Structure 1
Amino acid sequence: MSRLTDLIASVKAKDPALGADLDKEFKVLSTRLPFGLNFERHRPEAVELPLRPVRRGDKVRVLPPRGATERGDQRLWKVVSIAKSDKTAELELIESNQKERLVSSLADLVVVAEFRDKIYPGLASTGGVKRGEGKPCHTVINGENYHALKALTFTHRGKIDAIYIDPPYNTGAKDWKYNNSYVESDDLYRHSKWLAFMERRLLIAKQLLNPADSVLIVTIDEKEYLRLGLLLEQIFPEASIQMISSVINPKGSARSGRFSRVDEYIYFVYFGNSALTAWRTDMLRNEEITNRKVRWAGLMRNGEGSRRERIPSMFFPIFLDATSGEFHSVGEPPEAETDRNDVEVPEGTVALWPVDNSGQELMWRLSPGSLREYLKLGHAKFGRRDPKTGLRPAYYLQRGIRSMLKSGEVVVAGKDQEGALELEFADSVGTRSPATVWNMVSHSASEYGAGLLKVLLPGRRFPYPKSTYAVEDSLRFFLKKKPNAIVLDFFAGSGTTCHAVMRLNKQDGGQRQSISITNNEVSADEQRALRKQGYRAGDPEWERLGICDYVTKPRIEAAITGKTPEGEEVKGNYKFTDEFPISDGFEENAEFFTLTYEAKEAVNHNLAFNRIAPLLWLRAGSAGPRIDHIPDKGWAVSETYGVLAVIDKATAFIEHIREVKGLRIAYIVTDDDRRFQAIARRLPKNVEPVRLYEAYLTNFSFANGE
């Protein structure tokens, strides 16, 4: 409602009477609070783009002089004209009754994008690392996460299998910014700003998640967990939500006059058919379940309704060799009035009947025909022989175990001498669901978050990194059966989520991909020191210390190569689920990008292809070579997609596409919808036709905010 307040104020300046009437009605309406979570949406956020060249028509801020440490003028100006001769720009103040004008050096201006503005995003490659032949790439995007999420609506709408985020906890200790200002503990709108900040991003995340089967995982502590829970319920009414408590600091964080804090909360938001897979531990007792045995159920039915007379056809003999006790054959049910002792027994055998210790005649759980089939498959067996009677108890596999055998959760280790299967649980699958309280040594943030980061990036710090094993465990519950899953983290920070996904891939040979989004902010203290030295955001000396360039990208590269940024082998070993030297690295690939802001005209006239190209590659699966330039022949084809830029070359393009197995998308550059449809009809059925740049421009041709 802050935006509405601002609008009413502007009306008052022009028409006091009308403004007063509007203000009166607004106050009446504002007292009628709807049920649920209520908060100010605030003025739409804005982000400064120091790396973007200033263009005519841009919104800009005037920067303070180099060497100054104050925040500077936060007013927004519009660039009216640019004088290339002396590199200056004429500015006009935005949202002012007076047409205030100013001439400023271009070097003292920074472009600003408000979240209600339309943007046309691109990606500029900043390097990468490749060690996984034939595997898709993990992606790291340096940029404002709201706008990066908007970019992903073109590439991954409805395709994300899991989102894991560790957003700002709103501690009041300058841990996040709202509209270029740190939100501190004395800010009366601190909680409201945080909710507005989160809501905007979660609404886009909702467009990216696969509605049929996906999960959103959000970590938080006691400062915002109640508000976050309500916000999740309001944004995702169709989902099922659980909150668990996880011990991440066994030593405790002191709270004066309060309980020492050892845990944090994790929300799991389930969409569609999403369900977790059991694991080797219940996450509470801090120990793995070992020597788990597959349960064989007793074949004899007992309890109410198990007597012979209820279903006579389930009362029949099983014949065993009288000397060795080995299985001989399955008999047929006698007549209901026949005494079992009068039934003829094959020579050299004894009859095993479903009779309990008291002599009560019961029945088997399987019919004669079913038992013969079970024995043939090895799904039924006999226990130890009683030396007095020569009889052996009978067992069989119940439906649940047989289903697990079919799905691979239970595996065949061999057969016994009589052909019965010897079964065990697959190493990576447990028998219990995790509890709602986690107490795992491996989840300690200080040891396996900060500690692991320290050996990967000696001398570099990042505040409160998550334990890699904690993120790994959270994702495993939902990705164990999804070896090709796509995982998104739009508060990527130090890159823990990507690291965790790579560990999961190594454990089962998966080809899961991660998309990590983070900005290149420097800490409040570093900002002050850099400004004193005369540096600004955008300067190389400033940018090299930003989160993405200083921590995220180097951490992911060190994890893949097994070498520190200085080229030395990383010391130590991974622990817990999969133990091996960290220096071994991973057979994985990663590509690094910076988010760009393109001019609509440049996109429409095919002048920004090199910046749009990474988005085309991402949409096609982030695998194989990327088509960054169109060759003179007018088309290019990679492993998973092709681009046709010259329509007259369509025949050669289509013929080549037919020879490429696994190709997913054909991008066709044309303004003529009739010709696009004609080419689309000639493509193989498994290839998706996408019209450029109509599909791209349509995707972003709406306001990006309130």
Structure 2
Amino acid sequence: MSRLTDLLARTKAKDAQLGMDLEREFKALSSRLPFGLNFERHSPEAVELPLRPIRKGDKVRVLPARGSTKKGDQRLWQVKAIHKSANMADLELLGLAVPETLSMPLDSLVVVAEFRDTIYPGLVSTGKVARGSDKPFHSVINGENYHVLKALTYTHRGKVDAIYIDPPYNTGAKDWKYNNDYVEKDDLYRHSKWLAMMERRLLVAKELLNPSDSVLIVTIDEKEYLRLGLLLEQVFPEAEIEMVTSVISAKGVARFGQFSRVEEFIYFARLGKCTVNLGEQNMLNDSRSASAQIGSDIEWLGLRRREPTAKRGARPNQFYPIFVNAISGFIDSIGNPITDDVDRLTISAPSGTFAVWPLRPNGGEGLWGITPDTAKRYLKEGFIRSRNYKPENGKVAIHYLPSGTVDAIKDGRIDVVGRDPDGAVQAVHRERKGVIPKRVWNMASHNAENGGSLVLSNLIPDRRFPFPKSLYAVEDALRFFVADKAEAIIIDFFSGSGTTAHAVMRLNRQDGGRRQCISVTNNEVAAEEQKALREQGLRPGDPDWERRGICDYITKPRVAAAITGRTPAGEPIKGDYKFTDEFPMADGFEENAEFFTLTYEAKSAVNHNLAYARIAPLLWLRAGARGQRINKLPEEGWAVADTYGLLTDVDQATPFIHTINKIDNLRVVYIVTDDDRRFQAIAKRLPGNVEPVRLYESYLANFSFTNGE
């Protein structure tokens, strides 16, 4: 190792950039685990950005001629100068000791971002649908998901309740790209590329999840499920990880000489106190809850222990008298335990009462189920009672509530709505109902064809999307974790057709929730269409190309159709939703959604307050994505929206703060200043429940920090 370190130092002295690149690869190799999942983490990853304007200093590739279906020049060039009048750029090839230069038309170049580069993101709105009054907006973001995740570290770091993703399954059938190339089945580094791609995104996603209570849900099939399981263990060592087997097509996929595939797998990585909620069904069959349902009485248990070993003497403190009023039959008091050498018949009962002992059916002496101290406390609180009093023979039944029920009452999960004359709690009902779900799911609603393809074809007729998830399967998976979180934030950064957002809308309709979903997808054109579009002379970035991309052609129209109840052609959607709640699809949802495209801003433009229009949606998202947005720099020097305020002229702080104090739902105040002392002075004058954020220092520092700088 020391020899390698010396060689790296000598290389850096001759070529600083080459030395740093080699050192980065050396660190990646030396940090490998001796056991566990090892793979080529240093495999480079880059993405072409056809919609990004070309600027001096950018990394670019030279595109093939229009009409060509051949792969373009994959070398990276740096833009040294731009001649706008001639629409030309001067380029220098990266990575060469002897410079190689070239001049090319701007429209023959595409910007390339390597994932080691720091980005400064923004968002441009491309439309919205609003039917949900003051509900938060769902967001659909068109962009490279790794970069969008980086953007969300500024708006949602530590705030996300659930992430649901359905990543590419790495089938080798052109289901995903790495460095702008489809990963083929015979690629020797196919699994390493997939793992490197997933790890980069999961590490950023981890920053978004609430560490005290959240869940990551990942679906996968047999091709990568073993590697994914190990990767999750390494990225989330603190999580409780379980895997569910889910039947998605009972008829199966016939494969000669192999078992017919009917299933896929779902990983659940639970952070903090996150637990699996009870379900209405056990998920394996149609069995429903046999436990207490909403509105039903709780179960009282007999106080005497019933196991054969529960004999007097086995637990010295649990043989004691319970004194019952001889007239009412209600418990009067709890006596003290007696030792084995004391005859119970020698114990005198208080006046007007008689003693009840834990006697077995054969007359033998047994034990009570709780200690006398607990019994005394329970008597005061109404958790122990006597019933079925028979004065003629002095018999009575003693009941109590088990500790789990008592805890549920005390922490509010079970409600007490009345008490009996003796003080015992009554008319108690559970907040939740259900059974513990099993780890094999076999639900008719999870059929990928009926719940996925057919639902999508109703929403956006004549638009094909391969293998959409069952709407109801996604809904069920999320329900186990957000049913009791009416304002949960859910992210899907492999959103595909938009099933997750659709499922969140259904959950909101079922319980009146205000959950919001952030869906992230690129605008990749399906593999079979690309050749035809290229032959027509089209390229990524051209309007006629982009309108055929996944986001513009599938995701956005699907989300809009679900809300409005109408197809892209304006026709009422045919068919009904099924299962948990049934209603016509044409009814739509009382929800809001806005569509965005990710942009890449120049640091200098941000610093000089010239990129505000693209950063404005990020400020709105950070404040809750609800109500109005401040889209322009205010002429007055300040402005206030529904959930946040913006101060661009610190000399106007007094009227700004005066207005802030009149608004109840304000979450964040953004203060534009380079002077930290003035920022701190203004922040101290804000209400205690309002978060002060300094622009643009917080924005720039966030992305430098996220990139490890």
Q: Same fold (TM over 0.5)?
A: yes
- C-alpha change, 1:375 and 1:575, in structure 2 (3 Å) is farther
- Matching residue of 2:646: 643
The alpha carbon displacement at 1:149 in A equals 0.7
Q: Distance in 2 between matches of 1:32 and 1:434?
A: 38
Q: Secondary structure at the match of 1:128?
A: strand
The alpha carbon displacement at 1:92 in A equals 2.2
User: Equivalent residues in 2 for 1:190-589 (5 A)?
Assistant: 190-290=190-290, 292=292, 294-303=298-307, 304-307=309-312, 310-311=316-317, 314-319=320-325, 327-328=329-330, 330=332, 333=335, 337=343, 339=345, 354-362=358-366, 364-365=368-369, 379-380=383-384, 391=395, 393-407=397-411, 409-411=413-415, 421-426=426-431, 428-430=432-434, 432-589=435-592
Q: Distance in 1 between matches of 2:334 and 2:622?
A: 63
- Matching residue of 2:662: 659
Q: Distance in 1 between matches of 2:562 and 2:486?
A: 20
The residue type paired with residue 629 of structure 1 is: K
Q: Distance in 2 between matches of 1:182 and 1:77?
A: 22
Unmatched runs of 5 consecutive residues or more in structure 1: none
The alpha carbon displacement at 1:596 in A equals 0.1
Q: Is the 8 A contact 1:116 1:703 kept in 2?
A: no
Q: Secondary structure at the match of 1:60?
A: strand
Q: Secondary structure at the match of 1:689?
A: strand
The residue type paired with residue 303 of structure 2 is: L
Q: Distance in 2 between matches of 1:487 and 1:295?
A: 36
The alpha carbon displacement at 1:302 in A equals 3.9
Q: Distance in 2 between matches of 1:331 and 1:30?
A: 71
The alpha carbon displacement at 1:569 in A equals 2.4
Q: TM-score, normalised by structure 1?
A: 0.88
- The more displaced of 277-286 and 485-494 is 277-286
- C-alpha change, 1:186 and 1:340, in structure 2 (3 Å) is same
Q: Secondary structure at the match of 1:184?
A: coil
- Matching residue of 1:681: 684
CA offsets per residue over residues 139-164 of structure 1, 9 Å max, x none? 11110001111111111112112111
The alpha carbon displacement at 1:658 in A equals 1.2
Q: Is the 8 A contact 2:136 2:516 kept in 1?
A: yes
Alignment partner of 2:626 out of 619, 623, 627 = 623
Q: Distance in 2 between matches of 1:516 and 1:694?
A: 27
Q: Distance in 1 between matches of 2:349 and 2:11?
A: 102
- The more displaced of 332-341 and 33-42 is 332-341
Q: Distance in 2 between matches of 1:203 and 1:577?
A: 35
Q: Distance in 1 between matches of 2:392 and 2:582?
A: 51
Q: Is the 8 A contact 1:320 1:350 kept in 2?
A: yes
Q: Distance in 2 between matches of 1:355 and 1:38?
A: 64
Q: Secondary structure at the match of 2:277?
A: coil
- Matching residue of 1:61: 61
Q: Secondary structure at the match of 1:300?
A: coil
Q: Is the 8 A contact 1:345 1:351 kept in 2?
A: no
- C-alpha change, 1:674 and 1:338, in structure 2 (3 Å) is closer
Q: What's the % identity of the aligned pairs? A: 61
The aligned length equals 684
CA offsets per residue over residues 310-356 of structure 1, 9 Å max, x none? 448732343576xxxx745536659954638996995xx99865433
Q: Distance in 2 between matches of 1:280 and 1:544?
A: 42
- The more displaced of 98-107 and 539-548 is 98-107
The root-mean-square deviation of aligned C-alpha atoms, in Å, is 3.5
Q: Secondary structure at the match of 1:174?
A: coil
The residue type paired with residue 402 of structure 2 is: Q
Q: Secondary structure at the match of 1:127?
A: strand
Q: Secondary structure at the match of 1:471?
A: helix
Q: Secondary structure at the match of 1:173?
A: coil
CA offsets per residue over residues 347-367 of structure 1, 9 Å max, x none? xx9986543321124454468
Q: Distance in 2 between matches of 1:102 and 1:142?
A: 32
Q: Secondary structure at the match of 1:695?
A: helix
- C-alpha change, 1:413 and 1:359, in structure 2 (3 Å) is same
CA offsets per residue over residues 108-135 of structure 1, 9 Å max, x none? 2221111122211000011111122222
The residue type paired with residue 599 of structure 1 is: A
CA offsets per residue over residues 649-696 of structure 1, 9 Å max, x none? 111111111111121211111112222222222222222221111111
- C-alpha change, 1:387 and 1:521, in structure 2 (3 Å) is farther
Whether 2:101 is the aligned partner of 1:101: answer: yes
- C-alpha change, 1:342 and 1:270, in structure 2 (3 Å) is closer
- C-alpha change, 1:172 and 1:390, in structure 2 (3 Å) is same
The alpha carbon displacement at 1:632 in A equals 1.3
Q: Secondary structure at the match of 2:183?
A: strand
Q: Is the 8 A contact 1:535 1:541 kept in 2?
A: yes
Q: TM-score, normalised by structure 2?
A: 0.88
Q: Is the 8 A contact 2:330 2:385 kept in 1?
A: no
- C-alpha change, 1:645 and 1:329, in structure 2 (3 Å) is closer
The alpha carbon displacement at 1:473 in A equals 1.8
The alpha carbon displacement at 1:456 in A equals 1.5
Q: Is the 8 A contact 2:152 2:208 kept in 1?
A: yes
The alpha carbon displacement at 1:488 in A equals 1.3
Q: Secondary structure at the match of 1:255?
A: coil
The residue type paired with residue 453 of structure 2 is: A
- C-alpha change, 1:285 and 1:413, in structure 2 (3 Å) is farther
Q: Secondary structure at the match of 1:652?
A: helix
Q: Distance in 2 between matches of 1:567 and 1:414?
A: 54
- C-alpha change, 1:78 and 1:441, in structure 2 (3 Å) is same
Q: Is the 8 A contact 1:286 1:439 kept in 2?
A: no
Q: Distance in 1 between matches of 2:131 and 2:386?
A: 52
Q: Is the 8 A contact 1:331 1:368 kept in 2?
A: no
- The more displaced of 526-535 and 353-362 is 353-362
Unmatched runs of 5 consecutive residues or more in structure 2: none
The residue type paired with residue 324 of structure 2 is: I
Q: Distance in 1 between matches of 2:408 and 2:654?
A: 50
The residue type paired with residue 259 of structure 1 is: F
The alpha carbon displacement at 1:235 in A equals 1.8
Q: Distance in 2 between matches of 1:312 and 1:192?
A: 62
Q: Distance in 2 between matches of 1:232 and 1:32?
A: 16
- C-alpha change, 1:618 and 1:30, in structure 2 (3 Å) is closer
The residue type paired with residue 300 of structure 1 is: R
Q: Distance in 2 between matches of 1:53 and 1:369?
A: 76
- Matching residue of 1:633: 636
- Matching residue of 2:695: 692
- C-alpha change, 1:101 and 1:371, in structure 2 (3 Å) is closer
- C-alpha change, 1:182 and 1:388, in structure 2 (3 Å) is farther
The alpha carbon displacement at 1:285 in A equals 2.7
The residue type paired with residue 274 of structure 1 is: C
- C-alpha change, 1:583 and 1:416, in structure 2 (3 Å) is farther
The residue type paired with residue 224 of structure 2 is: E
Q: Distance in 2 between matches of 1:663 and 1:152?
A: 20
- The more displaced of 63-72 and 652-661 is 63-72
